[in-house]
Amino acid sequence: MTRADELLGGTGIRGATRRGRESPLPTRPVRPGAPTPLGARFRTGPDGVAGTNFALWAGGAEAVELCLFDEQGRETRCPLTELTHEIWHGFVPGVEPGQRYGYRVDGRWDPWTGARWNPAKLLLDPYARAVDGDYGIYGRAAEVYGHMRDWPEQHVADTVRDDRDSAPFVPKGIVVHDDGPDEWAEDRRPKTPWADSVIYELHVKGFTKRHPGIPEELRGTYAGLGHPAAVDHLVRLGVTAVELLPVHQFAHEDHLLKRDLRNYWGYNSIGYFAPHAGYAAGATTGAQVGEFKDMVRSLHDAGIEVILDVVYNHTAEAGELGPTLSLRGIDNRGYYRLQGDPRRYADYTGCGNTLHVVQPHVLRLITDSLRYWVTEMGVDGFRFDLAAALARSFHDVDMLSPFLAVIAQDPVLRRVKLIAEPWDVGSGGYQVGSFPPLWTEWNDRYRGAVRDFWRGALPDVRDLGYRLSGSSDLYAWGGRRPYASVNFITAHDGFTLRDLVSYERKHNEANGEGNRDGTDDNRAWNCGVEGESDDERIQALRRRQLRNLLTTLLLSTGVPMLVAGDELGRTQGGNNNAYCQDNETSWVDWALLEQPGWKALFELTSRLIRLRHEHPVLRRRSFFSGRAHSADGLRDLAWFTAHGAEMTERDWYAPAATLGMYLSGRDIPGRDARGAPVTDDSFLVVLHAGDRPVSFTLPGPPWATAYELVLDTNSEDQAGAPGTLHEAGTVVTVPARCVLLYRVAD
């Protein structure tokens, strides 16, 4: 017998079980019920009595108890004795919406083989539609761990079972009304084509928490995001979709709670069907479901789609030393990828575990969740965090993996917007450009090239040319289109746009990790001073760089993605990993709109988005060919040096700070909704990243006979010299670090 066995009365014995566990708690009779659908579904029984059917997949378990809790937290247990294809199920008469519940699952305790059943731990139903409570309130309790968290010999702590009851310390699932598909939402979906999309990444709480136009009691909530004041900003800006940082129920990591911090971003999911309770304005006993739907309706009414950032690659249960909250206690070996040593988890995510998506029941959990959010909650698409982890078959990333195959043939999911973060932290995990045609991808090569160009770090302009024109080198295969590239310069992870031009080094001390967290590869330029500066010249240069970056993004072919607050100069004080900063560091500061310089930045961003919506040449559905389409030799895309000459092969390899890009609107592939050819104005974009002005010769025929200046980022007021005409061949002076946009005035 081991030391653990002696101290815990045998609970550490390899292979021990909990058969015949006695409970003094009251029980309720349970009818057989049905094994489908999974989860808790309120309905009328065969005898006309209303109640709820409960169904839980728990492969390998020896017993399952449904646990019901009243308002005082008193527990009633309902043994589920019916077992169909590894699904434990039962119908409980009298259980109505609003009922709080969880499960206790019994089986072998044998961590050496990956078996970690522990009926002392109350488990959240993976299919729970709503959750009452917040793991941040209870997460510090050692009782939520299936093993002895504080065992003195930490290298074996995960093998020593903790038999203390976790029910008082964990949130509970909530039975909700099953309204079925929201047909109103389906009829009113904006259904914006990919090529016409402009995505705006935002955090429900961070976007609304400080907004002065939103009633105080609604700030930080779904209701706040659906409020007219919030929607009005999105409409004035002109974005077509919001991409919400995770809104699935999530938990807070123990190491954050110990430092009095909380997980702000939410990439620590534990409930894939439940809107995060912390973002509900009203009571969390199921009301958050209706509140979320109302938010979606408000956004749809304004023509704005809702995309969810979803985290199906791992859960909040972390590695073998993590808490037992749900899947680990239901069937650890069935839900998670384990190593050759089954005590350990395969970790392709950097978060301690990886869901075993190859398993049919895990794949079912994910696809059931996705369909639920589309058909019943009204969302329009998903951005998949660390999508390469989901595309792994057994070890390697496989673009014919079960996950991608199921998505491709699903009649609901294949018609919504699907965005991959095309990498994970495992070997071979970087897969930019590799996802199949149904998918779009976050294009971090775009981010790197644009950042490097404007900080003067590109060795030549070859990569920039590809990124500006839709990244055909990555996506022109298998029927993919330019909108397969989601172009971005900033995201939630990393510097804000303002910080990108104000800091070169991360300043993450507030995270409590000794400034070791977050990337050191920022590709940033602080304009000569680290951090905020009172020097008006530095401030002006930084605002000009912001204009350059936003203009580049919104004139590039592909789907642009903005981050909430970048359009008005939001700063995080140089923190490039603010995942645990649920405070004013991360919340949008709406007072910036009252400052002339930042208000002008918002107006420029809105103007650029409007320009994009008005001109199909800026949102092409097909890649440029670079070939002449008429006898005069005019091509749909051409590149020019500062001398007004077309670039040669040699020019692409030479160091350069200036690039001219000509976009022809004469022969745009495709037809409009009426079947007519698509034509548009033609434009010349001049990008100059040098620190001195440069002379640029405007190209002559066949490209143009005259040009009209549309935008000049050197001007704080954005207008530059609107309407100014220049004859072709004119030598214009391009100010240092500037973008000029000309419309061909033939």
Reported confidence tier of residue 24, pLDDT bands at 50, 70, 90: low
> What pLDDT, on a 0 to 100 scale, did the predictor assign at position 398?
87
Render pLDDT for 30-73 as a digit per residue (tens, 0 to 9): 999 999 999 999 999 888 899 999 999 999 999 999 999 999 99
Structure tokens at 477: 């295969």
What is the spatial distance between Cα 648 and Cα 654, in angstroms, rounded to a whole number? 10
**Averaged confidence pLDDT in the chain:** 93
DSSP characters over 569-628:
T---TT-S-GGG--STTTS--GGGGGSHHHHHHHHHHHHHHHHHHH-GGGS-SS----SB
Residue 483: φ, ψ to 5°? -75, 5
Q: Where are the domains of the chain?
A: 628-745
Burial (0-12, 13-18, 19+ Cβ within 10 Å), 532: middle
Do residues 680 and 616 touch, judged by C-beta distance below 8 A?
yes
Note the helical H segments in 51-170: 135-138
What is the spatial distance between Cα 23 and Cα 28, in angstroms, rounded to a whole number? 13
Do residues 582 and 205 touch, judged by C-beta distance below 8 A?
yes
**Is pLDDT at 472 greater than 70 in this prediction?**
yes
DSSP characters over 470-501:
T-HHHH-STT--GGGEEE-S--SSS--HHHHT
Mean pLDDT of 300-325: 97
Residue entry with tokens 């990439």: 267
Residue entry with tokens 């500062």: 642
Render pLDDT for 657-709 as a digit per residue (tens, 0 to 9): 999 999 999 878 888 888 888 899 999 999 999 999 999 999 999 999 999 99
> What pLDDT, on a 0 to 100 scale, did the predictor assign at position 6?
39
pTM exceeds 0.85: yes
> What pLDDT, on a 0 to 100 scale, did the predictor assign at position 138?
58
Angle 151-152-156 from CA coordinates, rounded to 5°:
65
CA distances, 114 to each of 29, 110, 328, 340, 709 (Å): 33, 6, 10, 10, 67
Structure tokens at 381: 């698409």
DSSP-derived pairing of the beta strands 172-174 and 199-202: unpaired
SS3 668: strand
- Give the residue numbers marked as catalytic: 385, 421
Reported confidence tier of residue 18, pLDDT bands at 50, 70, 90: very low
Do residues 591 and 565 touch, judged by C-beta distance below 8 A?
no
Mean pLDDT of 376-395: 94
> What pLDDT, on a 0 to 100 scale, did the predictor assign at position 136?
64
SS3 402: helix
CATH number of the 628-745 domain:
2.60.40.1180
Burial (0-12, 13-18, 19+ Cβ within 10 Å), 218: buried
Render pLDDT for 201-244 as a digit per residue (tens, 0 to 9): 999 999 999 999 999 999 999 999 999 999 999 999 999 999 99
Residue entry with tokens 């728990």: 58
